[in-house]
Amino acid sequence: MLKREHGLPHGSAHRLSLVARNGAPKADAASTDDPLDALLAATREPLRPIVARLIARVKKLGDVEVAPKKGYVSLRRRKQFAMIQPGAQLVSLGLVLPDEAPEGRLESAAKFNALFTHRVRIGVEKEVDEAVGRWLRAAYEAAK
């Protein structure tokens, strides 16, 4: 009926019927409501204050979609303008700043990620400073 009357593909119709019969899948006991928990698993937990401070700065910019992915957090306006990627020892902030020359902490992202023009490595919370705020705002503004 789902396939015939509603035009659903076989896989979608099958999944809906399973959910209708058995209920939605139960959440893993280890999961939480915070999507960053999986990203900041045990070894990256010390980086949580840096990620939280970056996200707080980004939310002050305006309408931003903060979308945690498997290995990073995507920051989007109309298009992606930045990403936060926790590593083993530090957080990499990828930025799209087409009119900025790489200099000092604002490195080229050529060897980091081809989607971004620049990368900032952040090892401690206090490095989420005014310079990082300016770069985030510039990337946000460029993503109109």
- What spatial distance separates the first Cα and last Cα of the chain, rounded to whole Å? 44
87 in the same domain as 23 = no
Q: What is the DSSP letter of 102?
A: P
Q: What number is the average pLDDT over the span 109-134?
A: 96
117 in the same domain as 76 = yes
pLDDT in tens, 13-63: 777 887 788 776 554 444 445 768 888 887 889 999 999 999 999 999 999
57 in the same domain as 7 = no
pLDDT in tens, 75-121: 999 899 999 999 989 999 999 999 899 999 999 999 999 999 999 99
- State which H helix or E strand residue 55 sits in: helix 48-59
107 in the same domain as 70 = yes
108 in the same domain as 51 = yes
List the domain range (segments joined by +) for residue 6: 1-31
- What's the domain count of the chain? 2
> In whole angstroms, how far apart are CA 41 and each of 32, 34, 48, 96, 112?
12, 12, 10, 27, 22
